[in-house]
Amino acid sequence: MKKLFTLVLCLMMTISLIGCSKKEDKAVAIVNGQAITLGNYQKLLALNKSSMESYYGSDIWSTQVEDGKTYKDTLKEMVLEAMISSEVVYQQAKKEKVVPTDEQVQEQIDSFNEQIKNDEDYQKELKKMGIDEDFLKYQFSRDLANSNLQAKFEDDIKISESEMKKYYEENKDDYYTDTVTASHILLKTQDDNGKELSAEKKKEAKKKAQEALDKVKSGEDFAQVAKEYSEDSSAANGGELGTFGRGQMVTEFENAAFAMKDGEISDIVETQYGYHIIKVTKRVDKQESYDEVKDQIKSTLASQKYTEYVEKLKKDSTIEQKEDVVKSAKF
């Protein structure tokens, strides 16, 4: 299913999405006197349900996650918490006079509509969920208000050099890069069902692998030889595997690739899948210095502090959840 752009509340997100309100709707929660309506809650549930089903299928909802809760229970709780956070943030943005203008909100709506104008199926899906112009106005005003409040907070916050250095030392591994960018040629020693080939066929595969190796070692273009010889799905792309880190390839392949230098071509490497010839195009083994990642660390710490700030806003708010109304929500 088409990605739901900024409308979809990814489960890692916490505060950017919420729907529009209708006075006649029941409230699923009241935040500092402001109602979060059942109608909005159901729309957001529908968006997230659709998004999750596009990845995991429609049979996941009765599956238990932890403590006897199902995916359905967990999603309903997370959506409600996100809406409460969004309401708290919006109220604070109003106090600090950083809510977006009507023109800014309309720009977001126009941009969104432009992106989906040729996707009739997606438009029908949104209409079925009740996603109308009022919802979009409310949604994008909340989204922009959060961005504005975070920007203001991060501009005002002071992060000391010692704090950043301490974070760097405690998280040094996060700034260590150990990757290989490579291509390969594969002659398989197992069939499409994973069954090992006969000794005779394996011998033939190794012979072909040696032919391919001789060609690339003599200077023939690796990508062209891969297209001619390789039995891997990457063959059409010249054998390109992209960039990978440790633990992503089988042991024999990893050991060979990570021991090579830029531009180097391996001898034949045997794995459970067959005979490989590996070409490393880029090898990165680097610990980035504090100065190289200083700005990144500052941004990370500012973001963490903003999250803490929002949690404090929630803690200081008067929040009443209406469990009976939440339970009545359509799913």
DSSP conformation class of 186: E
> According to DSSP H, which parts of 96-241 are helical?
102-116, 120-129, 133-156, 161-170, 199-217, 222-229
**Is 168 a residue whose pLDDT tops 50?**
yes
In a shared domain, residues 118 and 44: yes
pLDDT in tens, 224-233: 999 999 999 9
In a shared domain, residues 108 and 143: yes
Question: Quick one: pLDDT at residue 3?
Answer: 39
pLDDT in tens, 271-328: 999 999 999 999 999 999 999 999 999 999 999 999 999 999 999 999 999 999 999 9
Structure tokens that stand for 63 in this block: 């599956």
Q: What is the CATH number of the domain that holds 147?
A: 1.10.4030.10
Q: How many helices (H) and strands (E) does the chain have?
A: 11, 9
Q: Is 147 inside any structural domain?
A: yes
Q: Is 161 inside any structural domain?
A: no
Question: Quick one: pLDDT at residue 20?
Answer: 40
Q: Which comes out higher in pLDDT, residue 252 or 8?
A: 252
Cα–Cα distance, 105 to 329 (Å, whole number): 28
In a shared domain, residues 241 and 260: yes
Per mean pLDDT, which of 21-35, 60-74, 124-138, 193-207 is the most reliable? 193-207
Q: Is 167 inside any structural domain?
A: no
Domain that residue 317 falls in? 5-156+296-327
**Entry pTM:** 0.72
Half-sphere exposure of residue 204: CA atoms within 13 angstroms, side-chain side: 7
In a shared domain, residues 81 and 204: no
Integer Rg of the chain from CA: 27
pLDDT in tens, 43-99: 999 999 999 999 999 999 999 988 889 999 999 999 999 999 999 999 999 999 999
Confidence of residue 40 (pLDDT cuts 50, 70, 90): confident
Using a pLDDT cut of 90, give the percent of the chain over it. 87
**Is 8 a residue whose pLDDT tops 90?**
no
Q: Is 168 inside any structural domain?
A: no
Q: Is 263 inside any structural domain?
A: yes
In a shared domain, residues 150 and 11: yes
Number of domains composing the chain:
2
In a shared domain, residues 318 and 264: no
Question: Quick one: pLDDT at residue 315?
Answer: 97
In a shared domain, residues 209 and 150: no
**Is 22 a residue whose pLDDT tops 70?**
no
Q: Is 163 inside any structural domain?
A: no
Cα–Cα distance, 235 to 215 (Å, whole number): 16
Q: What is the CATH number of the domain that holds 275?
A: 3.10.50.40
Q: Is 244 inside any structural domain?
A: yes
**Is 12 a residue whose pLDDT tops 80?**
no
- Range 306-322 burial, b when 16+ CB lie within 10 A, else e: beebbeebbeebeeebb
In a shared domain, residues 50 and 129: yes
In a shared domain, residues 106 and 180: no
Question: Quick one: pLDDT at residue 139?
Answer: 86
Q: Which comes out higher in pLDDT, residue 24 or 13?
A: 24
In a shared domain, residues 254 and 150: no
| Long-range contacts of 325-331, Cβ-Cβ distance < 8 Å, separation of 24 or more | 325/26, 325/27, 325/28, 325/38, 326/28, 326/41, 326/76, 326/80, 328/26, 328/38, 329/28, 329/38, 329/41, 329/42, 329/45, 329/76, 330/42, 330/45, 331/45, 331/49, 331/61, 331/72, 331/76
pLDDT in tens, 124-144: 999 999 999 988 988 899 999
Confidence of residue 17 (pLDDT cuts 50, 70, 90): very low
**Is 146 a residue whose pLDDT tops 90?**
yes
In a shared domain, residues 17 and 104: yes
Q: Is 105 inside any structural domain?
A: yes
Confidence of residue 25 (pLDDT cuts 50, 70, 90): confident
In a shared domain, residues 231 and 144: no
Question: Quick one: pLDDT at residue 24?
Answer: 53
Contacts of residue 218, defined as CB under 8 A and 6 or more positions apart, other chains included, come to: none
Chain position carrying tokens 């066929």: 201
Query: What integer best gives the mean pLDDT of the chain?
Result: 91
